[in-house]
Amino acid sequence: MTTRERSWRFGTRMGTMLGLATFAVAGSAQGVSFRGIGDLAGGETYSQAWGVSGDGRVVVGTSYSADGRQATRWDVESGLQGLGILPGGGVYALGRAASQDGSVVVGITDSALSIDSHEGVEAFRWDAVGGLQSLGDLPGGEFESMAFDVTPDGTYVVGSSSVRTPDHFADPQESGRQPFRWDAVNGMVALPLPADATHGGFASGVSADGRTVVGSYQTDTVEVPFIWREDEGTSVMGDFPADAYRSEVRALSPDGRIAVAWVSLLGRDGGWIRWEDGVGELITGARGIPNAVDATGSIVGGDNSTFGAFIWTRETGMVAVEDFLSRYGLDVSGWEFDSIQGFSDDGRTIVGFGTNPDGFREGFVAVIPEPSTAMLLGLGLSVLATRRRVATS
Residue 183 pLDDT: 98
Residue 371 pLDDT: 64
Q: Is the pLDDT of residue 1 over 70?
A: no
**How does residue 336 score in pLDDT terms, banded at 50, 70 and 90?**
very high
Residues 6+ apart with CB under 8 A from 131: 83, 84
Q: Which stretch of DSSP H or E encloses residue 354?
A: strand 349-355
Mean pLDDT of the chain: 84
**How does residue 115 score in pLDDT terms, banded at 50, 70 and 90?**
low
**How does residue 12 score in pLDDT terms, banded at 50, 70 and 90?**
very low
Within-domain flag for 16: no
Per the DSSP assignment, residues forming a β-bridge with 124 are 107, 134
Residue 17 pLDDT: 40
Residue 176 pLDDT: 81
- Structural domain harbouring 62: 36-392
Q: Is the pLDDT of residue 393 over 60?
A: no
The more confidently predicted of residues 64 and 8 is 64
The rounded percent of the chain whose pLDDT value lies above 70 is: 81
Q: Is the pLDDT of residue 106 over 80?
A: yes
Q: Is the pLDDT of residue 130 over 70?
A: yes
Q: Is the pLDDT of residue 75 over 90?
A: yes
Domain total for the chain? 1
Burial 234-273 (b: 16+ CB within 10 A, else e): beebeebbeebebbbbbbbbbebbbbbbbbbbeeeebbbb
The conformation of residue 172, written as its DSSP 8-state character, comes to G
Within-domain flag for 10: no
**What whole-number distance in Å separates Cα of residue 79 and Cα of residue 105?**
16
The rounded percent of the chain whose pLDDT value lies above 90 is: 61
Within-domain flag for 169: yes
Q: Is the pLDDT of residue 15 over 50?
A: no
Least confident segment among 58-67, 118-127, 296-305, 328-337: 118-127
The more confidently predicted of residues 168 and 220 is 220
Q: Is the pLDDT of residue 103 over 70?
A: yes
Mean pLDDT across the stretch 342-353? 97
Mean pLDDT across the stretch 81-110? 91
The vertex-252 CA angle with 247 and 253, nearest 5°, equals 150
**What whole-number distance in Å separates Cα of residue 196 and Cα of residue 210?**
25
**How does residue 141 score in pLDDT terms, banded at 50, 70 and 90?**
confident
pLDDT tens digits, 248-264: 999 999 999 999 998 88
Helix (H, G, I), strand (E, B) or coil at 323: helix
The more confidently predicted of residues 169 and 160 is 160
Q: Is the pLDDT of residue 384 over 50?
A: no
**How does residue 385 score in pLDDT terms, banded at 50, 70 and 90?**
very low
Residue 101 pLDDT: 98
Within-domain flag for 96: yes
Q: Is the pLDDT of residue 178 over 90?
A: yes
Within-domain flag for 210: yes
CATH code for the domain in which residue 245 is found: 2.130.10.10
Residue 346 pLDDT: 96
Q: Is the pLDDT of residue 370 over 60?
A: yes
Q: Is the pLDDT of residue 97 over 90?
A: yes
Residue 85 pLDDT: 83
**What whole-number distance in Å separates Cα of residue 111 and Cα of residue 86?**
6
Least confident segment among 15-19, 47-51, 287-291, 311-315: 15-19
Q: Are 124 and 93 in contact (CB under 8 A)?
A: yes
